[in-house]
Each structure stands twice: as structure tokens, then as C-alpha cells.
Amino acid sequence: MAQAHEQTPSRQRVAVIGAGAIGGTIAARLDAVGHDVTVTARGENLAAIRERGLRIKGGFGAHTAAATALEELVEAPDVAILAVKATGAVEALEANRRALEGVPLLVVQNGLGGERAAARLLGHERVAGGISLMAANSLEPGVVTVTATGDTIVGGAEGERFAALLGEALPTSETPSIEGAQWTKLLINMVNAIPAIIGHSVQDVIGDPGLRRVLLASMRETARTGLAAGVRFQPLQGLTPLLVRVVAFAPRRVAQQVPLRIRARLGEVPNMGSTQQSIRRGQPTEVDAINGAVVAEAARLGRPAPVNAALVELVHEVERSGTFLAPSVVRKLA
């Protein structure tokens, strides 16, 4: 993996589509280093940004960005970053298609292949893939709290351009395989579903032996499915290809050290995970693009992924009911 870029790009007009936890952090940091930033948002979040600015605090320091806030882009920027959840990507691209014609685009998203889907929809190949390894909460309109810092990984077409742009504002690295990096992030993102089901923090889930057993089972399914598909997992924040194989095949007492390392990296500030944050805001979750992606790829390969399939159903149950479930419901899955 390449080191973070040190050169300072010239001032650019940057559009960040989706000013949630990750998009809001990226937008505010780009504003802080002098770029002309426009963000798209909706509802209370849009109103708060227009009234009080886009505020970030926590791991990357405090800053209030005086970003232009719109429902949809009205003119083409120099570059754009799509940071909406996978469930809203198509709608966001359709709404801003005219402004994005021929514009270099970075898709920062959970799941697999978001940049390929965006390139097909927009009809041009100037699209890079991005992965955010920071942890952030956005539970108050217009305010993002970064609970754990981490790299933003970019790769694919236009990867060098966006590494240069983001490298001034955030820890940024390039990867030789955005697909392999996406699979490693997918493995890390297995921490999201269980907190969303029971309403606890990621740290509390990993600290509970019974819940950690289920989490590890979902991670095993992910690692084994990716390896069976021939994926070359890329190293991300200490999760190396060797550790992916440890997750996949080592005895449980050894393999559980990987989620415990993730817990240590998150620190002491409770992190709700992006899936639980969506539920608390009454928004659709990305569970189908995370755990569901494992189920779909496993099915394509003729392999089972029962734990991830069960977690998908339980997250959807919480979405429908608006009520978190007892931890015992999850513990019985493994």
C-alpha cells in the first residue's frame, strides 16, 4: 500500500454528495485545508448545515465548515465524492447526473463494486473507489463526532487524483486492488450488524463472549467466501492477508483475537456502527450491501453463509419494528 500523499493540490471546487458521518468528515476536512466545498444533504441535516455550518469534532480536531449546502448539485464541480450509503447511491447519482457528466468521481461506500456501478450509471470511467477506515457518529443534525481516526483508501481509475486531493486533509493511501481492499473492509464491517440488532456499542458487542462468537462466525463466512472467490485481500489498518486466513481457518480461541484487536483500535468512546446509526435515524440500513453481499457471493459459489443470512433478517426485523432485540436472540446463532 502506498504511503499518504504529501503534495498540496491547488484549490478545487469539491462536491461531497451525502454529508453524513463519513461524507461530513471528508467535506469538513477539505474545507479546513482551503478547498471550495459544496455538500448535498436533506431534511434536518440540510437545515442545520445551512444555519450553523458543518461541524466536526473528535479525532481529527474541531472545525466548522462554511460549506454550501444543497439538496442537489446545480453546477458541475471540479471533482465529486459520493459518500451516501449504498442503499441511496443510485438515487443520489440520478439526482445529480447532469452535474456529474464527465466529472471525476470518488465513491466512498461500504460493500462491493460501488465504483463500477457508478461508472455504468454515469456512462464514463472517471470513477475511483474509496474506503473509509475512520469511525464516526452522526446522531445530531449538522454535527459529526470522529470516534477513531483511520486511513481513507483509494484505488482504481482516478485513484491517484483523489489520493492527492484527500491526502492533504486526511490520512490517505492508495491500494493496488480496490476490490481486495473492499473485501477486507467488508470483513471489518461485520462488526456493524449485531450492534444494530441489540442497540449496544460495537465495543460492548465484541467484549461479550457470546456475541463475539457470533461476530467471529460472520467474519469466518466472509473470509472463507472471499478466499473461495479468489480475492486477494489487501492489508487495512493491521488486518493483513495472513490475519484474514487466521479468521477463516484458525481455532476460535486464536481467531477471536482479530475482533478483539478491532475493539482496541476503536478506543473507549462508544461507537454505534453505521448500521445502528441508520436505524436510530429511521433510515434504511446497508445490511444488504454488507452481510447481504457475503450471502449473495456465497450463493454464487454454492457455499452456505447461514450466520450472515440470519443477521440480515434480524436487522430487517429491527428496521420494521423500530425495537432492538435481546442479546440472547443473537447469541443462539453460533
Q: Please state the pTM of the whole predicted model.
A: 0.85
3: confidence class by pLDDT, cuts 50, 70, 90: very low
Q: Residue 243's CB: how many other CB atoms inside 10 A?
A: 20
CATH 3.40.50.720 region(s) of the chain?
13-175
Is the pLDDT assigned to residue 8 strictly greater than 50?
A: no
Thinking of the domain 182-331, which architecture would CATH place it in?
Orthogonal Bundle (1.10)
Cell of 207: 467484549
Rounded Cα distance, 253 and 259, in Å: 11
- pLDDT, residue 7, reads 39
Cell of 65: 465548515
Tens-place pLDDT, residues 9-37: 589 999 999 999 999 999 999 999 999 99
R_g (Cα) of the chain, nearest Å: 19
CATH 1.10.1040.10 region(s) of the chain?
182-331
Rounded Cα distance, 221 and 216, in Å: 9
Tens-place pLDDT, residues 173-219: 999 999 999 999 999 999 999 999 999 999 999 999 999 999 999 99
User: E strand or H helix at 65, and its extent?
Assistant: strand 63-65
Is the pLDDT assigned to residue 294 strictly greater than 90?
A: yes
Rounded Cα distance, 200 and 141, in Å: 21
Q: In this structure, are residues 135 and 271 in contact, taking their beta carbons and an 8 Å threshold?
A: yes
Tens-place pLDDT, residues 138-178: 889 999 999 889 899 999 989 999 999 999 999 999 999 99
Reference 261, options 295, 238, 278, 236; nearest CA is 238
- pLDDT, residue 137, reads 85
Q: In this structure, are residues 16 and 27 in contact, taking their beta carbons and an 8 Å threshold?
A: yes
- pLDDT, residue 147, reads 87
Does domain 13-175 fall under CATH 3.40.50.720? My reply is yes
